[in-house]
Amino acid sequence: MRRRLAKRGLVVLDRDGVINKDSADFVKSTREWVPLPGSIDAIADLSRAGFTVAVASNQSGLARGLFDRRALRAMHRKLRRLVGEKGGRVDRIVVCPHGPDDGCSCRKPRPGLLEQLARYYDAELSGVPAIGDSLRDLDAAAAAGARPILVRTGNGRETEAALGRDRARVEVFDDLAAAAAALLQE
Ligand SMILES: [Mg+2]
Ligand SMILES: [Zn+2]
């Protein structure tokens, strides 16, 4: 099944630490799924401006038995509902359900989730903004040939500090709202 992209193309977001507050104890329920300030409006703005917004997220809490698919679906319904209330849309959500030792090809920093989106939309990933807060998001974006963008929410400040001399090659914004505003200016 292939879907058409909106006219400004695809933008891929990490979830935890970019859209919603991350937690060292994992985000396991809709109650724990709390949007970061401005993130819902940012997604709605991107969507209404003609971007197709997709989410690509490692969810090893599934493999760890911390929550189940049903709880995950409920969290994503919450995300879609909140964005929908602002007149936008989350078009597609792909997750890696595996653990770090499962050897899958989808867990970021591997590019599998982004490649799933590329197949779904029959789209090139070259130039596609991929916004994340962790090094593995940036590495997955680079491995897929996409455009890595870092936000300083979630793990973002630590990630920025850890980039060292690679910092010059990564675009960095304070949060998703700032990153979205920059993309909307392009
Ligand atoms: Mg994250
Ligand atoms: Zn996986």
Residue 3 has a pLDDT of 84
pLDDT at 2 over 70: no
Sign of torsion, CA 61 63 64 70?
positive
Residue 1 has a pLDDT of 54
How large is the average pLDDT for residues 34-53? 98
How large is the average pLDDT for residues 46-59? 98
Confidence of residue 50 (pLDDT cuts 50, 70, 90): very high
Q: Quote the ligand 1 centre to 124 CA distance (angstroms).
A: 23
Residues 137, 140, 142, 145: what is their CA dihedral angle, to the nearest 10 degrees?
-130
How large is the average pLDDT for residues 5-27? 96
114: three-class secondary structure by DSSP:
helix
Residues paired with 93 in a beta bridge? 55
For residues 150 and 172, the answer to whether their CB atoms sit within 8 Å is yes
Q: What is the pTM of this model?
A: 0.97
Active-site residue numbers?
14, 16
Chain segment 61-104, per-residue pLDDT in tens: 999 999 999 999 999 999 999 999 999 999 999 999 999 999 99
Q: Quote the ligand 2 centre to 87 CA distance (angstroms).
A: 31
Chain segment 95-153, per-residue pLDDT in tens: 999 999 999 999 999 999 999 999 999 999 999 999 999 999 999 999 999 999 999 99
pLDDT at 161 over 90: yes
Q: Quote the ligand 1 centre to 6 CA distance (angstroms).
A: 25
| Chain mean position to CA 185 | 20
Residues 161, 171, 94, 41: what is their CA dihedral angle, to the nearest 10 degrees?
100
